[in-house]
Amino acid sequence: MKIDGKPYRTIWPSSDGRAVEVIDQTALPHRFAIRRIEGLEDAFTAIRTMVVRGAPLIGATAAYGLALALKHDPSDAGADSAYRRLAAARPTAVNLRHALDDVRAHIARLPAGERARAAFARAAAICDEDVENCRLIGEAGLPLIEEIYHAKNRPVNILTHCNAGWLATVDWGTATAPIYMAHDRGVPVHVLVDETRPRNQGAALTAFELGQHGVPHHIVVDNAGGHLMQHGRVDLVIVGADRVTARGDAANKIGTYLKALAARANDVPFYVAVPQTTIDWTIEDGVRDIEIEERDAAEVTHILGRLDNGEIARVAIGAPGSPALNPAFDVTPAGLIAGLITDRGVCAASRDGLLGLFPERKAA
């Protein structure tokens, strides 16, 4: 996608071939900055501090992080230790584990001297596969938007939560891919962007990228969704996910579950868009089995923004001394999800629905 008219991915190898570069998402939307990741610790910190974030991009960064670590220590012990360090950076998005497993399996039988180069090539392939998966999610989800447009003959109002846009992936985004495709093909869309406290990925990132692409949108406070749905101002909800279980439960940014409840109460279809790398076939019950990241309370008690004089400032918003809880994700049970939009098509959020698209998983 483009920033100020220039095409970017969110992660790319540096021109000297010794590092990777990423868009620093902690600086957006106020400042566009690129960060260099030169080794294992840089990759770990970028993921942990959310310089990069969003399930697919976390996976892609971890893949490159493992490749960079292998340059210094290509032994089995070195690979295992880098794997463990990166896997611990953030617990909820399963793409992290899948990308690390993928790179490690790819280099396992190679002589030590060939490992770093092979891992780097595999990380680049993981990025390319993510772009293609997201493009296919766009193709799969587009008919859902077109159908509403043809029925209502006015712009389709789509609510989304957090940033499941191109900044959360390598390109296109998951929830946003059908939206960008509809917009590009002349189907009028209007996006309601949940601000997504505490870190405001909606207001800061989704709004930024929609604005850069010229997609009509409004930022709304997280609590507005139910009201807007009651008044017929939301036709469709599309969110991303950090992990979808084998029976279709979906972990996504905190607050997603409340939107799904409001959508069900108001007969608004609620879809979850995911690439296959976000499906965790090893678990069924998302509420019980998905680890929910608990982040620093300061993300709740303080907020970062730009003052009128242009300065970036962090201010306290909570009562001094009051403690805060900060669960970063919640799980929406499959029963509240109208369908999963995947790179293989749209299916019911159920074991049978998923196996219909991924029959090779039947034996697993």
Residues known to be catalytic? 242
54 binds ligand MRU (CB under 6 A): yes
The secondary structure element, H or E, covering residue 283 is: none
Contact with ligand MRU (CB under 6 A) among 35, 44, 46, 56? 56
Residues numbered 323 to 352 that lie near ligand MRU (CB under 6 A) are: 328
Residue 192 near residue 220 (C-beta atoms within 8 A): yes
Taking the least distance from each CB to ligand MRU, the nearer of 121 and 304 is 304
Regarding 89 and contact with ligand MRU (CB under 6 A), the answer is no
65: left (phi over 0), alpha (psi -120 to 50) or beta: alpha
Q: Near ligand MRU by CB under 6 A, which window of 35-43, 164-172, 186-194, 314-322?
A: 164-172
Binding flag, residue 162, ligand MRU (CB under 6 A) = yes
Residue 252 binds to ligand MRU (criterion: CB under 6 A)? yes
The region of 140-148, 240-248, 316-324, 349-357 touching ligand MRU under the rule CB under 6 A is 240-248
Nearer to ligand MRU, 262 or 273 (CB): 273
Is 98 a residue that touches ligand MRU (CB under 6 A)? no
Closest C-alpha to 180, from 209, 151, 219: 209
Q: Tell how strand 189-194 and strand 34-37 pair up.
A: unpaired
CB of 35 to ligand MRU, least distance (A): 16
Q: Nearest to residue 91, comparing CAs of 327, 312, 310, 342?
A: 327
Q: What is the CA radius of gyration of the chain?
A: 20
Query: Does residue 202 touch ligand MRU according to CB under 6 A?
Result: no
Q: Is 11 in the site for ligand MRU (CB under 6 A)?
A: no
Using the rule CB under 6 A, give the single segment among 4-12, 68-76, 236-244, 352-360 that binds ligand MRU: 236-244
46 binds ligand MRU (CB under 6 A): no
Report if residue 198 touches ligand MRU, rule: CB under 6 A.
no
Residues 282-301 that bind ligand MRU (CB under 6 A): none
Q: Applying CB under 6 A, what is the total number of residues that bind ligand MRU?
A: 17
Helices (H), the chain: 40-48, 55-72, 76-87, 95-107, 112-152, 176-184, 201, 207-213, 225-230, 256-265, 286-289, 298-301, 351-357
User: Could you give the CA distance from residue 303 to residue 318 in angstroms, rounded to a whole number?
Assistant: 10
Among 9, 35, 53, 106, interactor with ligand MRU by CB under 6 A = 53
> Among 156, 177, 228, 241, which residue sits at the site for ligand MRU (rule: CB under 6 A)?
241
Site of tokens 């210094």 = 72
What DSSP state is assigned to residue 319?
P
The CA-based angle 5-8-12, given to 5 degrees, is 160
Q: Rounded to 5 degrees, what are φ and ψ at 359? A: -60, -25
The answer to whether 201 contacts ligand MRU (rule: CB under 6 A) is: yes
Binding stretches for ligand MRU (CB under 6 A): 53-56, 93, 162, 164, 168-169, 174, 201, 240-242, 252-253, 328
